[in-house]
Structures are given as C-alpha cells and as structure tokens.
Chain A
C-alpha cells in the first residue's frame, strides 16, 4: 500500500468515526433543526412586532381639511401613490374631514385631540388651506406623514391645474440578452452571502473537535497509529460531511418549499445571472463553499487544538465569528469594487479568497482564475493543517504536563 493510500485510508477512518459520532446522536437533531427553531422564534417575534405595528398604524390617520372637490383629488392622489409605498415607507390612512371656518385652528385642535387621546384615532398630520397654498401641521416625530401629505397636495394641485389626473404610463417588460452590471453584482453578493451564511454555522464547530480526544485521552492512540496531519484532515473531512448533510437536508427542504415562496422572491432569484453561466456557477459555488469550510475550519481546528479546556474553546467563538464576518465584509467590498486593489487582495488572501472568487464568478466569465484560486486555496488548507498539527504535537504529545505554545509565549521566565 502506498503512503498516499495509507494516509487516505487513515484520514477516512478518522472522518468516519467523527461523522458517525456526530450524526448518530439525539443532539444532532437539535443542530439539524436549529435553523427551523431560529426561524420560528424570528417568525413569532416578527409577527408580534408586525401585529403591534399594524395595530398602531390602524389607529393613526392623516387628516385632510379641504373642500370636497379638493379633498377628492388628494384622496385620488393617495390611491395612486399608496401601492408604491412598502415597509417602513407605508403611511397611515388618509381621512378627509369637512373644514371649518378657521381651518388652521381646526387643524391644531384635530392634532391636539388625536395626540391627547380625545379622538378615537391618533392623528399624525393635518393638511389644510387651499391646494395652491397648502399647509401641514404635524406632531413632532411624524415628519414622514407630513411630507406625504405635502406630496399629495402638490400632486392634487397639478391634477387640478391640468383639469384631470395625468394618464398612467403603459408598462412593457423586455428580456435583455446580457445581465446588467447591477444584476451581476447582486449575483456576486448572493454568492458571497451564501457561502458566508453556510460557513458561519458550520466551520466554527471544528474548533472544539480535538478537545474530545484530549479529554478522553484517545489522542495518543490516534497519534501512534496515524500521522497527526491525517487526524486533523480526518476531523475536518468528518465535520465537512456533517456540513454537507446539513446543507443537503435544508437544500432539499427549501427546494420543495420553493413553490410556497412569494412570487417576488422566485422572480428575484430567477434574475440572478452569473457571468460564467448557471452550471459552472453552481459547480464553483460548491467548490468555494468546500474551500471556505476547509480553510476556516483548518484555522479554527489548529487554534482550537491548542485550547486545553471547554472554557478556552468557548472563549474562541467570538474571535472566530469576527474573522468570518471580516472575511464577508472584505469579500462584499470586493464584489462592489471588482477592479480595485481591495478585490485583488480579497481574492489572494487565503481566508477571504473563496468568498471573493465566488463573487468574481458572477461578474467575470473567465474560468482559469478559478482553477488557480482553488489550487491556491488547497495549498493553504495543507499549510494550515500542517502547522496546526505541529503546534499540537509540540504542545500536547510530550511527557509530563505539557503547556500549549500560546501559553508558553506569555510564561514568566
């Protein structure tokens, strides 16, 4: 048996053990359904917040104190603009009331009655005066509603001057042959975010895997039979198998739930158009996800292996997350400025390279840089594993009470 085959066999033996030990436990179900649990909590919280917000919005009004014809025009303008307002831009219902002899005083009274709860509804702003000299009185903090009313008054005045509401434009969709720069950047960002999201959950987990061997004292049995590099790589591959299982499970679930997604979301996804083509993009996305996982995982594994206790490993979770977010930010910047030195740096720097290159696949059709990048990233995986294994060997596999390298650095002479 050649050395390579032996190392491969040993690596897969370690990977198999870790995969089985991780997956065939009840705790794994918790991990697998963690996104569902997170989404459920998010949904419940979101529904609560939305309910509170809707309830508040339903009780709030923008009041128009204008003669009937003018008020009619303002309400028509509201009907035209309201469908375009979504999310935080949505405005309270517009309500027309008959103006009194002194509209300014009436407006102040209306606003005050709403503000002090004497009215059955809250009043955010009041529009009064003739349409060619409109005035808006608004409660401090509701400037948005006031500006909306001002806009409606202007639109209504223009319609009054023109004698009719302006004609609505006819909308015609045309398929363009090449995606725009904006679409490519959006695709690139989607790729960067996708890899970041997957690695955020998964690669940090490997930090604590060597702790099991240290605590169970199995490490010497492994080290005697298998090179530590194979132990490290085996652990990485085993946990990558867990990650692939996780991604596959949720990929299948989401693909089956795709039909239930709102039409806008499906349409948005269909507009994503990578420069290298859909097939290559999917392949490269898988490749870069693998590399991102192995690169970040090998760093976290090597660093985590130096930690002696679970407390030390838990302390590592914050710097791990910071590193991941930093790589995401760097790669996002690279996607936004694809010809800049930031992009070049992000594509070359080992830990950000998979993210940035996935983004590049969306905006640049050339394939050879990806072959070079994957080889470059694989080289760094090997370097990180080798260095991590050596540090571990020096720190742990010696007689007596070994002291990790990082602790020795700070030890008093």
Chain B
C-alpha cells in the first residue's frame, strides 16, 4: 500500500554518468491516486529519474520510496511501466505479448490471455488479438505495449513519454485509458515534453531541467507563475486612456494590452468607466502550461 497517501517519493536523487550529473538532487512526492506529470525538455533527466524510481538503475545518492517500500523491486508486481523506447517481440501475437508482460509481473498466463483479449477489444484492437506484432502499425503496437503495462492492474503506472509517436486518435485513446486507470484507483506517473497532455491530465506536476527540479505543484500553480494578460478595447480611441492604464500598457491599434495588476482588474475598470471611456471589449488571457514551462526552464532549454 502507499504510505500516508504517498505513492512515490524521491529525496535528493543523484545520478552521474562520468563527470555529468544527469540527475542532480531531484525531489518528488506523488500522491496516491493522482496523475502526476514529470515535465522537462529533452535530456532533462526525466527518463533517468523514472528508471531510478523503478529500480532499473541505482541512484548514486538519495532516497526513493515506491508504494511504501524502499526497495522498488519488492513491489515490482504492483507496478506497470511503459518505457520511452517501445519494444515488443515481433513474432508474438498481441494477446501473447500482453499476457507475457503480465506474467513478468506475476499474473497467471491464462488470466493474462483472457484479460488481454478484453483489453484489446476495449481499445478497438479486437481484430489484432491473434495478429503478430510485426504486422501491427507503430501506433497499434504502442497501444499493445501500454495494455501490457496495465494487464495486471497495477497500483502504480509509470509511463515514459507515452504520447510520442501516437496519432491524435490514439492520443485520445491513451488519455482515456489513463483516466480509466486513475478511476480504477491507480496512481499514474508519466513524463512528457508535450504540454497539452500534461495540462489536460495532471493533478500535479514537476518540471525538471538540467537534472534539477525547477517546479513542483498543480497545473494552476504553474500557470500562476506568469501574470495574466488583459486586452481592453475602448469605445473609441483616445491617447488619454494610457494615463488610466498600468504603466506596461501598449496599444495594438485596436485597443490596449497590459498585464493583469496584482491587485486585480476592478480598479482599472472603475477608472476607465468613470472617465467615460467605456468598455467595448475586454478579455483576460491566462497563460498556458507551455508558457509557464518556458518561463521555468528558460527559452533556450525549452527549445531543446
């Protein structure tokens, strides 16, 4: 079981390859039952962090705890994992591949085969149940591997860049599957550098760059790192309006743009109305997770 409502925790994890500190003191706390995203540009150390959490590689220093155990291997049968580099035996059928992955995690072969058929049907891959993996498309094979990661109904599902290589239809299927796993009671920990999925799915997230954790919190907390932007359109253009707006206001031909003041928009609007300028249009744009991500990791690294 997860201890004190925490499914996964990491404290000051460090991993070096030669002189390079690939992971440099990362802390994580993943609440049980949450969908938790590990975000970061390519080469940020996401995969190495996940591998250390799962016990695939050992950290050079730091502590990790998985489902109440300090030894990730001891709870391996309760974990499902989709690695970044997808891999299946091409000569296996989809059903056998899923049952095999279940068997590695302690599921009976017979049960695994039965569940594999159910999962494949539910995922719309009923025609591929007894088809060889080598004959499936890349996206279908990826879905089969994902089903193999959940066939034993794990308490913790770890997905490394699960959306990469999937077309929009399969991305939607994957999002639905992740939500279904959460609804079943599983904790989902996934890494990505695609912000749309993280914004839609994550209850909490961490942003990692250059092996270090730069942010940890909810999506809203991440978005709150940046000010909101206001677009105000008066009834008629008047240069005198500038004196009533915050100092950073800039005209865009149609109206004015400025950051939402920390004390709110009400005082500004009151001044404008009192001066008789009126409000022909007003919109407040909240920055997305992408902008927050760029802000946290830096423009240059975000492009990596």
Contact = CB atoms under 8 A, between A and B. Distances in A.
Given A21-B91, A217-B85, A398 B104 contact: no
A171 interface: no
A10 B104 contact: yes
A212 B79 CA distance: 25
Contacts, number: 73
B44 to A, nearest CB: 10
A6 B101 CA distance: 15
A393 B242 CA distance: 64
B271 interface: no
B88 interface: yes
Contact of A218 (B22, B87, B103): B87
B270 to A, nearest CB: 55
Given A397-B51, A397-B56, A13 B87 contact: no
B89 A399 contact: no
A233 B13 CA distance: 30
A220 B106 contact: no
Nearest to A230: B104
B106 A1 contact: yes
Contacts of A53: none
Nearest to A216: B87
A349 to B, nearest CB: 33
Contact of A399 (B47, B73, B77, B103): B47
A393 to B, nearest CB: 7
Interface string A206-247: 000000110011111111111100000000000000000000
Nearest to A212: B89
Given A225-B81, A399-B17, A399-B22, A218 B88 contact: yes
A220 B89 contact: no
A9 B54 contact: no
B184 interface: no
Contacts of B87: 213, 216-221
Interface residues of A, number: 29
Contacts of B88: 216, 218
Contact of A226 (B43, B57, B104): B104
A64 to B, nearest CB: 71
Interface string A13-32: 11001000100010000000
A221 B56 CA distance: 10
Interface string A377-413: 0000000000000000100011110000000000000
B83 interface: yes
A224 B56 contact: yes
A1 B75 CA distance: 11
Interface of A: 1, 3, 6, 9-10, 13-14, 17, 21, 25, 212-213, 216-227, 393, 397-400
13 contacts: A17-B100, A25-B91, A216-B88, A216-B90, A217-B86, A219-B87, A221-B83, A221-B148, A224-B54, A226-B76, A393-B57, A397-B56, A399-B43
Interface of B: 17, 22, 43, 45, 47-48, 51, 54, 56-57, 73-74, 76-77, 79, 81, 83, 85-92, 100-101, 103-106, 145, 148
Given A218-B87, A223-B56, A399-B47, 13 more contacts: A6-B106, A13-B100, A17-B89, A216-B88, A218-B89, A221-B101, A221-B104, A224-B81, A225-B105, A226-B76, A398-B57, A399-B43, A399-B48
